[in-house]
Amino acid sequence: MLENLGERLQSAIGKIKGYGIINEDNIKDAMREIRLALLEADVNYQVVKSFTAKVKEKALGEEVRKSINPGDLFVKIVNDELVNLLGNTKESINLSGNPAIAMLVGLQGSGKTTTVGKLALHLRKKAKKKPLLVACDIYRPGAIDQLQQIGKQLDIEVFEMGKVKPVKIVTEALKYAKEHNHDYILIDTAGRLHIDEDLMKELNDIREIAKPHEILLIIDSMMGQDAINVINGFNEQLPLTGTILTKMDGDTRGGVALSVRELTNLPIKMIGISEKMDGLSEFDPERMAGRILGMGDIVGLVEQAESLIDEDDAKKTMAKMKKGNFDLEDFLNQMKQMKKLGSMENLLKMIPGAKKMGLNNINIDPKQIARVEAIILSMTPYERRNPAILKATRKQRIAKGSGTDVADVNRLLKQFEQSKTMMKQMASGNFKMPF
C-alpha cells in the first residue's frame, strides 16, 4: 500500500536534505518529483496542486532560512502537510448509544458485507461490545448466507428475516437487540452497481427507522479517483459520517486515501489491511504519514502484536528465556505467533528507520520457515523439550521425516543455541551488540 509513493517521496526529500540552504533553484527538482509521485499514485490533480504549493511556500519561508538544519525542517513540513491532507486527527467509530447503531452502505463489490463482519470483530475486541449483524441486503444472491457464514465464523449473532422488506427487518432487529442485550447494531444494506433512486430511497427509509449514530460508506480503494464521485453521490443523499477504505493491502496506488478528506470533507475511519477477518485497522493520519515517509509505525506494530499474541503465553516465554530454559517447543510456538502477525517483510517496514538499516529490502523465504517448522514437528515432544539428546540416529530420523538433510537439522540446532543465548541475555538486560 502506497509503497511506490513512499519511495518516490523519500527520494525527493533526500535530495533536499543534502543542502545547507533551501532556495527557489534547488527546491525546483524536488518539488517536481513530489508532484509527479503524487499524480502517479492517482492523487487528484487539484489536491496535488494545493499540497505542493503549501509545501513550497513553507519551505521557502523565514523559519527554514534561519534554520540550522533546513533539510530536516523540510521533512517536517512534508510530514505535517501529509497529515493535514489525510485528515489531521484520528476519528474513531462512534460508540455512543445503547445500542449504538452503524449503517454500512456502498456499491456492490466494495467489500461491504465482509467489512460488516470485520468491524463487528473489531468492536468486540477493542471496545468490548456485543454486536448484532443485521442482514438487509435482500437482493444480491447469497448476501444473507454470506453474512450468516461470517457470523458463524466469528461467533457473532446475525439477525435475518429472509426476503422481507429491509424496513421491517430493521424494526424487528432493534427490538431483538434490546431484548438480548446487544449494545452495537451493524446493518448490512443492499448495494447496486451504480447509485440509483430506488437504492437511495431504501437507504433513507432504513435511516429514518434506525436513526444510526454512524452511516459509513464502504469504498474499494482500487477504484481510484472514481471513488470521489461515488462518495459525493452518496453524501448528497445521505448524511454520511465517514468512510472505510477496503483492499488497501492490494495492488492499489492509494491515491484515493490522500484525496478523500480534501475533496469530500469526510473522515476515513477505518482501512482494510488484509483479507483476514481481523484485517481492519483504525485510520490514523499521523501514523499513515509516518509510514509513507519511511518513519515506520511502531504504535501500529505494538497494537498488532497485542491483538494477536496471548499475553500469558508471552510472560511464560519471557520467564523461560531468563532462566535459559527456552526449548524447541517454545521456539515453534513463537514461530506460530509470528506467523499470525503477517509477513515478516511488512512487519520490518513498520520499524522506524527500517530503510536506513536496510530492513525494507530483506526478503524472507517462507519455504525456509516451513522447512524449519517441518524439522521441529518431526521431533517427538520430549526431543523438542530436550534438544541436547539429539544425536546422529535421531537426527537422521528427523531429517527423513521432514524431507530435509541432516545438515539442515544441524544448522537449525546451531541457530537455535545461538538464539537461546541471545534471548537469555536480552531477557536479563545483559545483551551487548556484537560490534
DSSP string, 301-354: HHHHHHHHS-HHHHHHHHHHHHHT---HHHHHHHHHHHHHT--HHHHHHTSTTT
Residues 82 and 139 in one domain: no
**Phi, then psi, of 93 in degrees rounded to 5:** -65, 135
CATH of the domain at 53: 1.20.120.140
Q: Is residue 93 assigned to a domain?
A: no
Q: Which of 24, 57, 86 is the last residue of a domain?
A: 86
Count how many domains the chain has.
3
Closest CA to 216 of 341, 116, 148: 116
Give the pLDDT band (50/70/90) at residue 423: low
Q: Is residue 23 assigned to a domain?
A: yes
Residues 236 and 377 in one domain: no
Q: Looking at residue 295, what is its pLDDT? A: 64
Residues 373 and 265 in one domain: no
261/84 Cα distance (integer angstroms) = 9
Residues 80 and 104 in one domain: no
Q: What is the pLDDT of residues 157-167, one digit of tens each?
A: 999 999 999 99
Closest CA to 417 of 304, 327, 288: 327
Which residues span the domain enclosing 119?
A: 100-295
Residues 288 and 182 in one domain: yes
Q: Looking at residue 359, what is its pLDDT? A: 41
Q: Which of 86, 109, 132 is the last residue of a domain?
A: 86
C-alpha cell at 80: 505535517
324/244 Cα distance (integer angstroms) = 46
217/229 Cα distance (integer angstroms) = 12
Q: Is residue 434 assigned to a domain?
A: no
Q: Which of 34, 56, 86 is the last residue of a domain?
A: 86
Closest CA to 253 of 23, 29, 18, 44: 44
Antiparallel, parallel or unpaired: β 131-135 and 184-188: parallel
Q: What is the pLDDT of residues 320-336, one digit of tens each?
A: 666 667 788 888 877 77
Q: Is residue 221 assigned to a domain?
A: yes
Residues 40 and 110 in one domain: no
Residues 124 and 244 in one domain: yes
Residues 151 and 279 in one domain: yes
CA 41, 42, 45 angle in degrees (round to 5)?
120
Give the side-chain half-sphere CA count within 13 A for 239. 8
Q: Is residue 199 assigned to a domain?
A: yes
Q: Is residue 346 assigned to a domain?
A: yes
Q: Looking at residue 74, what is its pLDDT? A: 82
Amino acid (one-letter) located at 289: A
Q: Looking at residue 435, what is its pLDDT? A: 34
- Once rounded to an integer, what is the mean pLDDT over residues 92-110? 93
Residues 235 and 122 in one domain: yes
Look at 261 and 430; give whichever has higher pLDDT. 261
Residues 51 and 111 in one domain: no
Residues 321 and 281 in one domain: no
The answer to whether residues 117 and 154 touch, using CB atoms and an 8 Å cutoff, is: yes
Q: Is residue 301 assigned to a domain?
A: no
Which parts of 97-194 are beta strand (E)? 100-105, 131-135, 158-159, 184-188
104/191 Cα distance (integer angstroms) = 10
CATH of the domain at 406: 1.10.260.30
Give the pLDDT band (50/70/90) at residue 195: confident
With H, G, I as helix, E, B as strand and everything else as coil, classify residue 91.
coil
Look at 363 and 141; give whichever has higher pLDDT. 141
Model pTM score: 0.70
Q: Is residue 349 assigned to a domain?
A: yes
Asked whether the predicted pLDDT for residue 207 surpasses 90, the reply is yes
48/332 Cα distance (integer angstroms) = 48
Residues 200 and 348 in one domain: no
CATH of the domain at 239: 3.40.50.300
